[in-house]
């Protein structure tokens, strides 16, 4: 896919600088890239495509720790937005390259000012800058996990990236099973935040180490609200939990309950976003 960089908005006009900056592949060029794709916690049309290119070219980059550091900042911004509101997004990133969403060819500074004044960016289009940036950064997680075996500046930066892109806490609805249905003999104390079962998502065999906390007194087979803490954020990919809908709680091999999650990313169904 050819990215029309000169027709994508960045923090300072168009993104036409970015291809040359990507070729330089050093700390100085990456600093400039960071300035172009994020400003005052705002992402732009160029952001997800630039992150995609950085992931694709990661092996060719010198001082790769700087990419991890940039991605850590972007991940923290995304989670800041998630804490405030749900993020709507378009059904595919290619829709961000629709003709109606691009700057005119060979646009002047005046054209760009007019574009900003007249163009109405939908909530889903703006949210897509964050959603698809997050999806592209996730692709670097396996590389960051592998680098944990090394002792270097890159390893330190990879650890920071993993802690930043993985969710810290997640709100969920919990149901615990009683002994007669294969669950626990007694209810756990969730007020101290020291209860640590494992979680398996509905369609995933990965065991996620978690910690549960609740201000509500649990009752068997009744719904109550919990706060789930991801406790191995520097060594496991917890990002599937962000888009999960259902999971099961385990103590060893015994399934003792289930969790239901509310989506924080919501695909737009608005016809104007199709």
Domain ranges of the chain: 5-164, 167-265
Q: Is the pLDDT of residue 1 over 90?
A: no
Those residues whose C-beta lies under 8 Å from the C-beta of residue 100, and which sit 6 or more positions away, are none
Q: Is the pLDDT of residue 271 over 70?
A: no
Mean per-residue pLDDT, 161-188: 96
Output the CATH code of domain 167-265: 2.40.30.10
Q: Is the pLDDT of residue 151 over 80?
A: no
Give the model confidence (pLDDT) of 93-123 as tens digits: 999 999 988 988 877 777 777 776 666 788 9
Give the model confidence (pLDDT) of 183-231 as tens digits: 999 999 999 989 999 999 988 889 999 999 999 999 999 999 999 999 9
**What is each CA distance from 216 to 24, 64, 189, 191, 253, in whole angstroms?**
55, 45, 10, 8, 26
Give the model confidence (pLDDT) of 22-43 as tens digits: 999 999 999 999 999 999 999 9
Count the alpha carbons within 13 Å of 66 in the hemisphere toward its beta carbon. Answer: 14
Q: What is the C-alpha to C-alpha distance for residues 22 and 170, in angstroms, rounded to an integer?
A: 35
- The region of weakest confidence among 113-117, 151-155, 232-236 is 113-117
Q: What is the pLDDT of residue 156?
A: 93
Rounded to the nearest angstrom, the gap between the alpha carbon of residue 105 and the centroid of all alpha carbons in its chain is 32
Give the model confidence (pLDDT) of 45-93 as tens digits: 999 999 999 999 999 888 899 999 999 999 999 999 998 888 999 999 9
Q: What is the pLDDT of residue 269?
A: 78
What the block records as the tokens of 213 is 């906390």
Those residues whose C-beta lies under 8 Å from the C-beta of residue 55, and which sit 6 or more positions away, are 136, 137, 139, 140
Max Cα distance, the chain (Å): 72
Q: Is the pLDDT of residue 240 over 60?
A: yes
Q: Is the pLDDT of residue 274 over 60?
A: no
Q: What is the pLDDT of residue 268?
A: 87
């Amino acid at each position: 896919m050819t990215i029309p960089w000169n027709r994508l908005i960045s923090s300072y006009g168009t993104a036409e600088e970015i291809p040359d900056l990507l070729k330089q592949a050093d700390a100085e060029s990456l600093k400039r890239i960071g300035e172009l794709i994020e400003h005052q916690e705002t992402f732009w049309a160029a952001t997800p495509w630039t992150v995609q290119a950085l992931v694709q070219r990661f092996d060719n980059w010198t001082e790769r720790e700087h990419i991890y550091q940039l991605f850590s900042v972007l991940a923290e911004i995304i989670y800041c937005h998630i804490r405030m509101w749900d993020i709507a997004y378009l059904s595919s990133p290619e829709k961000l390259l629709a003709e109606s969403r691009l700057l005119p060819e060979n646009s002047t500074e005046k054209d760009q000012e007019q574009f900003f004044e007249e163009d109405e960016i939908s909530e889903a289009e703006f949210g897509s800058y964050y959603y698809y940036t997050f999806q592209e950064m996730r692709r670097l997680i396996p590389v960051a996990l592998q680098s944990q075996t090394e002792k270097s500046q890159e390893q330190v930066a990879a650890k920071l990236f993993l802690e930043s892109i993985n969710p810290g806490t997640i709100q969920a609805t919990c149901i615990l099973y009683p002994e007669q249905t294969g669950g626990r003999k007694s209810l756990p104390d969730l007020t101290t935040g020291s209860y640590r079962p494992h979680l398996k998502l509905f369609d995933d065999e990965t065991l996620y180490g978690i910690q549960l906390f609740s201000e509500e007194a649990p009752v068997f087979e009744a719904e109550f609200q919990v706060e789930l803490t991801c406790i191995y954020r520097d060594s496991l990919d917890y990002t599937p939990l962000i888009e999960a809908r259902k999971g099961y709680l385990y103590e060893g091999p015994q399934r003792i309950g289930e969790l239901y999650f509310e989506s924080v990313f919501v695909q737009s169904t608005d016809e104007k976003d199709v």
